[in-house]
C-alpha cells in the first residue's frame, strides 16, 4: 500500500487497517452497544478495580436494565450466559491482560459472533476510558492524602 492509500486509515501496531471514518463515527454518534453490554463491561472492570463506579451501584443499574443476579455474577467473573456477550467479556479480558497490541484474531472472534466494527471500537473505548478514569481518581485521592 503506498502512502496515498494509507490516508483515511488507522494502523494498529500489528498493521491492521481500520478506516478512520469508522472510528470517528463510532465516537461521535450515540453508542452502538446495548446498555446491558456496557453494564456487563463495567461490572467486570469494577471487579478488577478499573471502574470508578462501585459494584453495588452497577448491580442496581443492572437490575434497572433488566439483568438478573446470576448474569451479573457471571459478568463479575468475565463471562456471560449469552454466547455473544461472553465473547465480548473475553475480549475485554484480553484488552486488560494481554501486553501489546490486539491481534487480528481478537477482532475476528467478536465479528464472528455479530459485533460490528463500531461496536468493537466502542468496547475498546469503554474499557480504555474506565481504566483511565479509575487511574485519575486514584491519583487524585492519593494526592489528597497527607503524610503524618
CB contact at 8 A, 139 and 52: no
Domains, the chain: 32-133 (1.20.1290.10)
Predicted TM-score (pTM) of this structure? 0.75
Q: Which triple of cell numbers denotes residue 95? A: 484488552
What pLDDT is stored for residue 6 in this prediction? 38
CB contact at 8 A, 60 and 46: no
For the chain, what is the largest distance between any 2 Cα atoms, rounded to a whole number of angstroms? 61
What pLDDT is stored for residue 66 in this prediction? 96
CB contact at 8 A, 78 and 44: yes
- Indicate the SS3 state at residue 34: coil
Sequence-ordered list of residues with C-beta below 8 angstroms from that of 3, at least 6 positions apart, any chain:
none
Q: What is the pLDDT of residues 96-139, one digit of tens each?
A: 998 788 999 999 999 999 999 999 999 999 999 999 988 888 88
The radius of gyration of the chain from alpha carbons, rounded to an integer in Å, stands at: 17
Q: Which triple of cell numbers denotes residue 37? A: 453490554
Q: What is the pLDDT of residues 22-49, one digit of tens each?
A: 444 444 456 889 999 999 999 999 999 9
Amino acid at each position: 500500500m503506498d502512502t496515498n492509500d494509507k490516508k483515511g486509515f488507522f494502523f494498529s501496531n500489528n498493521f491492521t487497517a481500520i478506516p478512520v471514518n469508522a472510528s470517528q463515527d463510532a465516537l461521535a454518534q450515540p453508542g452502538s452497544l446495548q446498555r446491558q453490554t456496557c453494564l456487563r463491561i463495567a461490572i467486570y472492570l469494577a471487579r478488577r478495580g478499573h471502574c470508578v463506579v462501585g459494584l453495588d451501584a452497577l448491580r442496581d443499574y443492572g437490575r434497572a436494565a433488566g439483568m438478573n443476579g446470576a448474569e451479573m455474577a457471571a459478568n463479575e467473573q468475565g463471562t456471560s450466559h449469552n454466547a455473544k456477550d461472553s465473547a465480548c467479556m473475553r475480549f475485554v479480558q484480553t484488552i486488560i491482560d494481554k501486553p501489546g497490541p490486539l491481534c487480528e484474531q481478537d477482532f475476528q472472534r467478536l465479528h464472528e459472533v455479530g459485533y460490528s466494527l463500531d461496536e468493537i471500537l466502542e468496547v475498546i473505548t469503554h474499557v480504555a476510558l474506565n481504566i483511565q478514569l479509575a487511574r485519575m481518581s486514584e491519583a487524585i485521592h492519593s494526592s489528597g492524602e497527607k503524610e503524618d
